[in-house]
Amino acid sequence: MKAQTALTGLVSVAALLPEASANIVAIRNPSVEQAAAEALAIPLAVLKRAAPDAPNGYVPTHVDCPSNRPTIRQATTVSPNETEWLYVRRNNTVSAMRNLLGRMNITGLDTNAYIDSVANNVSALPNIAIAGSGGGYRALMNYAGAVAAFDNRTSNSTATGQLGGLLQASTYLAGLSGGSWLVGSLFVNNFTSVENILAQDTPDNGGTWQFGRSILEGPESSGLSILNTAGYLKDIYDTVQDKNDAGYETTITDYWGRALSYQLVNASDGGPAYTFSSIADSDNFIAGNTPMPIFVSDGRARGQLVIDGNATVYEMNPWELGTFDPTTYAFAPIRYLGSNFSDGVVVDGDMQCVRGFDNAGYIMGTSSSLFNQAFLQVNGSTGLIAEAITAVLADIGQDNDDIANYPNPFFGVNNATSRVADTDQLTLVDGGEDLQNIPLHPLIQPERHVDVIFAIDSSADTTADNGGANWPNGTALVATYQRTFLPISNGTSFPAVPDQQTFVNLGLNNRPTFFGCDASNTTNMTPLIVYLPNAPYVYHSNVSTYDLSYNDTERNYIIENGYNVATLGNGTLDSQWPTCVGCAILSRSLERTGTTVPDVCTQCFQRYCWDGTVNSTTNTTYEPPYKLAKGEVLGFSNSGFKSTMPSLAFAVSAIATVLMIM
């Protein structure tokens, strides 16, 4: 393919491959995705090397179909698997919710008695979801801090001012791009805690999140296999090539997903046999002891360069890949992706199904395989490096190697309305390319009846031109809100939000804000959105999406900052914040049961709910100051660190150098 030809000559960079020459690839996304995916895509046609549920490692393999042969279902409701699981999970959230609300000092309401009264009434019991945005490593770490704050397994997370237990009380845990890395890493590692992952960092064990070594270099921990960079890249290349040799069209996402696995899956060689569907078989998940993970990706036709709000939004959960959007309106069993589906069934006469296509790293890579953003950002820039990158990205775009490629399970399904019914390949890209950078879409589906969504936004919306770069400005919420007015929305609703300039001018992008407090102004009991934007509480966590590595101290500071974003500095900035979180959790439930809203909740809503005020005056300066003294609130970090990370600039320079001598 054209991109492979262009990239194959690209490498021989001794600094990256000390023991062998290799082919460097360009960059791919305003996230670690960008540099790495391409720097690992064709890196080296030279060298080799959850539950591990796949029958043949990374290579999808034909197996006998089960007696209950897999089929494609219409998206009229959630799957039978999810429906059955919800009975168990919702019941298991009762105790955690009771304990959480009991600590939140909601005066005027006996929360224990209230939860007990609705415990057996699923339509009245609060239904909680958590969603983490994209944004590469920045998003992973910021989201990790919030999840640690919500996890009652985190030390001291159930003390005064804390929110531990919210994770255990939640039904859904969604991630997109970098946010999906956090969710995927926790689930593939037996739903471990963030604190436990960080505690693995010892002199004898580098831990799972070894971000100190660039994804271009590979791990150094013996627990993940000791590989020099050449061996690491060769292993990735050969593993992907094995899939290609088996007859599956591979793309840059295969390389990207395999590289991610080395940093996110605590298993030798990045766990090539770990599948996303194996989560559904884990004892913890079956018993309803964890929320349900959901990833988001966008459909993108081959040759398309820009994705707008009318793109089909696909979700990936432990049972299915599919969408409620009318442009496909179907779900496929994720365990049997790659099987020869046509008209909703495995083709007659084909007695075999395919297993192993849903590699956990590939699913995470699909949600984070950005290309358009990179192309648009670099294209048109001036300078030798920009011109070199643009040339490579143009080649990749023409051959569509930037997408994640799936044998289309929806071929022949809903022919009259589907955009993909007549194509044999389903092509997916990063879920944030339509600007919906927080994975809210699956959670606002009426069939899921979600009451409150805690939306952690690590987006890089602001630029250095207006002060501080890489902070959110509400773009993700605006995109989701605007999409509900399009025909593709299919009955979803979302609370009104202001424009991005108002977000900045009113400080809504710098502190928690509730949207949708007045349910009478919405339809279908629209979820209440608790918006938690990334801001500098104890650390300037607006690191560039292009930075490819972080030493442990900086990693921990960013996680710590995310913890403080979620807790308002353990209540330091507002001692009633936990109370207000409790009020948000209960809001829709209180309305459905006709229960009088306590005065303290009314006060919370007056303080945190957006009141409809708009201020769209252009303001060119946004440089948020620290909200707290660095390092004083949470014990994840050590003080006095110095950043020593190799950045994207190194990879870019290498690419440019090679291009110049071609």
The four Cα atoms 74, 79, 80, 84 give a dihedral, to 10 degrees, of -160
Q: Which residues contact 152 (CB under 8 A, 6 or more apart)?
A: 96, 99, 100, 158, 164, 165, 167, 168
- State mean pLDDT over 610-632: 85
Please, what is the angle between helix 111-118 and helix 577-593, to 10°? Answer: 40
Report yes or no: 330 and 323 within 8 Å, Cβ to Cβ. yes
Pairing type for strands 313-316 and 452-457 reads: unpaired
DSSP 324: S
Distance CA 377, CA 400 (A): 18
Using pLDDT thresholds of 50, 70 and 90, give the confidence band for residue 594.
very high
Count the residues in the chain. 662
Using pLDDT thresholds of 50, 70 and 90, give the confidence band for residue 519.
confident
Report yes or no: 58 and 356 within 8 Å, Cβ to Cβ. yes
Neighbours of 507 (CB within 10 A): 13
pLDDT cut 70: percent of the chain above it: 79
pLDDT over 60 (residue 159): yes
pLDDT, position 308: 77
pLDDT digits (tens, 9 = 90+) for 362-403: 999 999 876 444 444 444 444 443 454 455 445 545 555 668
Report yes or no: 286 and 406 within 8 Å, Cβ to Cβ. no
pLDDT, position 13: 28
Element housing 130 (H / E): strand 128-132
Distance CA 623, CA 17 (A): 40
pLDDT over 60 (residue 149): yes
Number of compact structural domains in the chain: 1
Report yes or no: 70 and 333 within 8 Å, Cβ to Cβ. yes
Q: Which residues contact 276 (CB under 8 A, 6 or more apart)?
A: 50, 184, 316, 318, 334, 358, 359, 360, 363
Report yes or no: 353 and 62 within 8 Å, Cβ to Cβ. yes
pLDDT, position 319: 98
pLDDT digits (tens, 9 = 90+) for 166-192: 999 999 999 999 999 999 999 999 999
User: Which of 432-436, 507-511, 545-549 is most confident?
Assistant: 507-511
Q: Which residues contact 648 (CB under 8 A, 6 or more apart)?
A: 27, 34, 35, 544, 546, 547, 548
Report yes or no: 201 and 559 within 8 Å, Cβ to Cβ. no
pLDDT over 70 (residue 324): yes
Distance CA 25, CA 240 (A): 15
Please, what is the average pLDDT of the chain? 82
Sign of the CA dihedral 101, 106, 112, 113? negative
Report yes or no: 291 and 86 within 8 Å, Cβ to Cβ. no
Q: Distance between alpha carbon 397 and the CA centroid of its chain, in Å?
A: 24
Tokens of 117: 């009264």
pLDDT cut 90: percent of the chain above it: 62
pLDDT, position 637: 40
pLDDT, position 379: 46
Report yes or no: 176 and 73 within 8 Å, Cβ to Cβ. no
CATH number, domain of 328, equals 3.40.1090.10
What Å distances lie between residue 651 and 215, 253, 500, 552, 643, CA to CA? 11, 18, 33, 21, 18
- State mean pLDDT over 566-572: 94
Phi, psi of 581, rounded to the nearest 5 degrees: -60, -45
Using pLDDT thresholds of 50, 70 and 90, give the confidence band for residue 523.
low
630 compared with 575, residue with greater pLDDT: 575
pLDDT, position 646: 35
Burial of 465 (0-12, 13-18, 19+ CB in 10 A): exposed
Phi, psi of 479, rounded to the nearest 5 degrees: -65, -45
Indicate the SS3 state at residue 250: coil
What Å distances lie between residue 300 and 143, 336, 376, 607, CA to CA? 27, 22, 16, 41
pLDDT digits (tens, 9 = 90+) for 334-344: 999 999 999 99
Q: Which of 240-249, 292-301, 618-627 bottoms out in mean pLDDT, i.e. has the lowest?
A: 618-627
Report yes or no: 317 and 82 within 8 Å, Cβ to Cβ. yes
pLDDT digits (tens, 9 = 90+) for 606-617: 999 999 999 999
What Å distances lie between residue 385 and 160, 380, 651, CA to CA? 52, 12, 11
Distance CA 361, CA 276 (A): 8
Q: 196 lies in which domain range?
A: 2-661
Rounded to 5 degrees, what angle do the CA atoms 179, 290, 438 make?
A: 25
DSSP 622: B
DSSP 516: -
Report yes or no: 403 and 300 within 8 Å, Cβ to Cβ. yes
- State mean pLDDT over 137-163: 95
- State mean pLDDT over 249-263: 87
Distance CA 576, CA 595 (A): 21
Report yes or no: 30 and 546 within 8 Å, Cβ to Cβ. yes
Distance CA 46, CA 44 (A): 5
Q: Which residues contact 74 (CB under 8 A, 6 or more apart)?
A: 329, 330, 414
Distance CA 644, CA 647 (A): 9
pLDDT, position 472: 96
pLDDT digits (tens, 9 = 90+) for 57-85: 999 999 999 999 999 999 999 999 999 99
Element housing 240 (H / E): helix 229-245
pLDDT over 90 (residue 194): yes
Neighbours of 502 (CB within 10 A): 20
pLDDT, position 221: 57
Tokens of 198: 């960080």
Report yes or no: 410 and 332 within 8 Å, Cβ to Cβ. yes
pLDDT digits (tens, 9 = 90+) for 429-476: 989 989 999 999 999 999 999 999 999 999 999 988 767 889 999 999
